Chain A
Amino acid sequence: MSDRDAAFEAYFAARSDAMRGTAYLLCGDWHRAEDLVQQTFTKIYLAWRRIQRHEAMDSYTRQTLVRTFLSERRRGWFRHESVGTPPTDRAAPSSGLADERVVLLEALAKVPPRQRAVLVLRYWEDASVEQTAALLDCSAGNVKSQAARGLETLRGLLEEERVR
């Protein structure tokens, strides 16, 4: 195995779980999250030598992940490409906490994709407004308004769910 391949494999082993978590919040489905991560890391592999010169490797990977997600959503459909062993869905424990979790994930999935990306980057990845703007290639003002709108949308959806 070449040095490049070994370094890539080590990086994947170290970071793919974290990226998959972010992908899961973006798309609400572990299968799709793994597709997203695989597509992201394939792009990273192809650009490996160029990226390695960057200090902010994680930032580049995160940016690729989010843009891949937005690109897929923008097409209007999300194609499934199985990679590796299909993960097994697990039954959620029957508790109120599990219900709350499901409700939040379902509500998040209904937030428009770009607002959702802003919410996940800001409040899961703890990215600053400026970092989020750089990742999404937009202005800081746009991030602030998308975050505010996203939270507003989410509040409305959660309120609807409580009323039911």
Chain B
Amino acid sequence: MNEQDFNEALHDVMTRSSPPPSMDPSRALEQGRRARKRRRAVWIGAAVVPLVAGVGAGPVLIANYASGRSADQQVAGGTSTTQPVPTVTPTVAPTTRKTGDPWPDGQVDRTATTGPRAERAVTLMNDLSSSVPPGFSTPNLKYPDGRSMRWPQGQYASSDGEQDYWEYMATIPVQKDDTVGKLLVKSTTPDGKPAIDPCKLAQKFWDGTGTCTIVDVDGKKVGVVTNGRGSYDQWAAYRHDDGTVVYLAQAKRSDDPKRSPLTRPVFTNTQLAELVTSAKLKIST
């Protein structure tokens, strides 16, 4: 198939396709309006927080100036009633998602590109980097087109009818000598759904299939898939008691086919299992 054949084939495909009815412009407009409203609400929220902080701090500063005592001393003496000021922009996302609801925190889609949720994903990526065993490194390698192979992502994950929950993901290249593999971690905040068998949980990871065994880590049951046939070779899955679910996956081959794959996995199966139960890779909010 040459360029001309492909061009003709694409036009043939589209000519013969049966597209659904046209999308409704008024619905699209409504979505846009909601997104704008959400964005404005967040701006106002962001502007109000320092204002509230200033109002709250004012009497304290005056009292301190008058009495010559520190705020800590006043709290200890029981004379201060200053309320803590929220430091996170308030979220007005619905507790149960419905079709057409705006994205939370003023986002224009599911991804948090700025703010505390985006920062949590970056922290997760850095925590994953610092977890690799000696002998491996986690450099900021690039794909041939210049994109970074290190990639953090914070995402609002609820679908229609589900309570609000978030997914934080990070993928990093791992290097040993001139070979490169990859790691992926995903931490999902509690979604209100009941616990399932550790192996069923593990086999829900992407479209991966493979043999699963349950590994015991200090009494915690972790599902570990050892011969993955998808994008990853091995991965572990664990649901913490509060409902937070953590996946950690590894592959000897990176997404850049020009790089030689690692000759051995980064983690043993036991190490994978230990890491998914650790507080280091767990994000619950």
> CB within 8 Å of B: which residues of A?
5, 8-10, 12-13, 16-17, 20-21, 24-25, 30, 34, 37-39, 41-46, 68, 71, 74-77, 79-85, 87-88, 90, 97-98, 101, 104-105, 114, 119-120, 122-124, 126, 138, 142, 146, 151, 154-155, 158
Closest Cβ–Cβ distance, residue A9 to chain B (whole Å) = 4
Pair B31/A79 contact, Cβ less than 8 Å: no
Pair A42/B31 contact, Cβ less than 8 Å: yes
Per-residue CB proximity of B25-46 to A under 8 Å, as 1/0?
1111101110110010000000
Tell me the complex Cα distance, A34–B21, Å: 11
Pair B206/A76 contact, Cβ less than 8 Å: yes
Is B63 in contact with chain A by the CB < 8 A criterion?
A: no
Tell me the complex Cα distance, A85–B100, Å: 11
Beta-carbon nearest neighbor of B27 in chain A: A84
Closest Cβ–Cβ distance, residue B172 to chain A (whole Å) = 13
Pair B28/A16 contact, Cβ less than 8 Å: yes
List residues of chain B with CB within 8 A of the CB of A97.
Answer: 16
**Which of A123, A138, A155 is the one whose CB lies under 8 Å from B146?**
A138
Pair B1/A17 contact, Cβ less than 8 Å: no
Is B20 in contact with chain A by the CB < 8 A criterion?
A: yes
With A46-B108, A114-B145 given, can you name 13 additional A-B contacts, CB distance below 8 Å? A8-B29, A21-B19, A30-B19, A41-B32, A42-B28, A76-B206, A81-B159, A83-B99, A83-B100, A84-B24, A85-B24, A104-B9, A146-B145
Beta-carbon nearest neighbor of A11 in chain B: B25
List residues of chain B with CB within 8 A of the CB of A155.
Answer: 1
Tell me the complex Cα distance, A17–B35, Å: 22
Closest Cβ–Cβ distance, residue A102 to chain B (whole Å) = 9
The winner among B21, B32, B110 for most chain A CB atoms within 10 A is B32
Pair B6/A151 contact, Cβ less than 8 Å: yes
List residues of chain B with CB within 8 A of the CB of A142.
Answer: 144-145
State how many residues of chain B have any CB contact under 8 Å with chain A: 50
> CB within 8 Å of A: which residues of B?
1-3, 6-7, 9-14, 16-29, 31-33, 35-36, 39, 99-100, 108-111, 144-146, 151, 153, 155, 157, 159-160, 169, 171, 184, 206
Pair A12/B25 contact, Cβ less than 8 Å: yes
**Closest 9 A-B residue pairs measured CB to CB?**
A87-B20, A45-B32, A12-B25, A9-B25, A123-B7, A13-B25, A84-B27, A90-B18, A124-B10
The winner among B13, B39, B157 for most chain A CB atoms within 10 A is B13
The winner among B17, B21, B23, B109 for most chain A CB atoms within 10 A is B23
A-B contact pairs, 6 of them (CB 8 A): A24-B17, A30-B19, A42-B28, A76-B206, A82-B99, A124-B11
**Which of B25, B27, B151 is the one whose CB lies under 8 Å from A74?**
B151
Beta-carbon nearest neighbor of B186 in chain A: A76
Closest Cβ–Cβ distance, residue B273 to chain A (whole Å) = 22
Pair A17/B110 contact, Cβ less than 8 Å: no
Question: A41-B28, A155-B1, A158-B1 given as contacts; is B155 within 8 A of A79 (CB)?
Answer: yes
List residues of chain A with CB within 8 A of the CB of B12.
Answer: 101
Pair A76/B169 contact, Cβ less than 8 Å: yes
List residues of chain A with CB within 8 A of the CB of B7.
Answer: 123-124, 126
Question: A8-B32, A9-B26 given as contacts; is B184 within 8 A of A76 (CB)?
Answer: yes
Closest Cβ–Cβ distance, residue B54 to chain A (whole Å) = 30
Question: A45-B35, A77-B206 given as contacts; is B19 within 8 A of A20 (CB)?
Answer: yes
Closest Cβ–Cβ distance, residue A30 to chain B (whole Å) = 5
List residues of chain A with CB within 8 A of the CB of B159.
Answer: 79-81
Pair B39/A154 contact, Cβ less than 8 Å: no
Beta-carbon nearest neighbor of A124 in chain B: B10
Question: A12-B29, A88-B20 given as contacts; is B108 within 8 A of A43 (CB)?
Answer: yes
**Which of A16, A25, A44 is the one whose CB lies under 8 Å from B10?**
A25
Tell me the complex Cα distance, A37–B3, Å: 27
List residues of chain B with CB within 8 A of the CB of A46.
Answer: 32, 35-36, 39, 108
**Which of B14, B24, B155 is the one whose CB lies under 8 Å from A25?**
B14
